[in-house]
Amino acid sequence: MSQDDKKKRAAEAAIEYIEADMIVGVGTGSTVNHFIDALAGIKGKIDGAVSSSEASTARMKAHGIRVYDLNATGGLSVYVDGADESNQHLHLIKGGGGALTREKIVAGASEKFICICDDTKLVPYLGKFPLPIEVIPMARSFVARELAKHGGRPVWREGFITDNGNVILDVHDMEIMDPVALENELNKIPGIVTVGIFANRPADVLILGTDTGIKTIQ
Ligand code: 5RP
């Protein structure tokens, strides 16, 4: 089975967590695209969605799913999103698609974070996937030097601008032994908007698509 088929399996399994009249928090990426397509199948049952990116908004609107501004909601019950890596504690690396800031906001505003991935994303330690960090453009070089002091090798994602008008540094070779501590530490660097470690607010449920079915960790 292909990696994309496994993503689809995980995405379709997340539909079970969606209840009548919900406003659903929706992430970004190829796994979430499968979730949005599945959500379209039950769009008459839900109230609508809050989106974490312009790309997901466009896909949902094309399906006729109502998209709310987060400010117009009183918080969300469920957020569904993918990840680039997860450890056993459901600490994540996110931001491969560059939508990490809005993803972290919508995850933070949600009671339950359902993470959907293919099984290759479950790792013993985070950090093999280069850590995405969203940065205010004028701070790019300064932040890169600060990240190098933390042992990382930041690479500017050239030509990429986030939905918020910022840039991304992908930090290679970062040792992430304590994800909560590193997320807190990097959050102190001026100019960083969002660190792609989701550990202070980890996922609550991880649904992995595998060759044989679904594996759920919570
Ligand atoms: C986007 C993300 C995505 O969830 C992450 O990159 C996984 O993407 P995909 O589902 O395409 O493998 O964090 O910012």
The best mutation among 7, 12, 32, 79 to test binding of ligand 1, ranked by most ligand atoms within 8 Å of the C-beta, falls on: 32
Provide the domain limits for residue 173. Answer: 131-196
Residues 29 and 124: their CA atoms lie apart, in Å, by 23
Residues 181 and 183: their CA atoms lie apart, in Å, by 6
Map residue 196 onto helix, strand or coil: coil
Tens of pLDDT along 157-216?
999 999 999 999 999 999 899 999 999 999 999 999 999 999 999 999 999 999 999 999
Give the position, in ligand 1's atom list, of the atom nearest the Cα of 96.
6
What's the total number of domains in the chain? 2
Over residues 109-127, mean pLDDT? 97
b/e 39-78 (16+ beta carbons within 10 angstroms → b): beeeeeebebbbbbbebbbebbeeeebebeebeebeebeb
CATH number at residue 171: 3.30.70.260
Q: What percent of the chain has pLDDT over 90?
A: 98
Tens of pLDDT along 64-100?
999 999 999 989 999 999 999 999 999 999 999 999 9
Residue 92's contacts (CB-CB under 8 Å, 6 or more residues apart) are 83, 84, 85, 86, 115, 126, 197, 198, 199, 202, 203
Helix axes 3-13, 30-40, angle to 10 degrees: 40
Residue of 166, 184, 188 lying closest to 176 (CA atoms): 184
**Ligand 1 shell residues, CB under 6 Å:** 27-31, 81-84, 94-100, 103
| Same domain, yes or no: 186 and 213 | no
| Same domain, yes or no: 50 and 101 | yes
Q: What Å distances lie between residue 68 and 141, 197, 213, CA to CA?
A: 36, 26, 33
- Whose alpha carbon is nearest atom 2 of ligand 1? 95
Residue 136's contacts (CB-CB under 8 Å, 6 or more residues apart) are 166, 191, 193
Task: Tokens 């990696």: give the residue.
Answer: 3
Tens of pLDDT along 14-51?
999 999 999 999 999 999 999 999 999 999 999 999 99
pLDDT at res. 175? 84
| Same domain, yes or no: 207 and 142 | no
| Same domain, yes or no: 90 and 13 | yes
Structure tokens given for 41: 């199948």
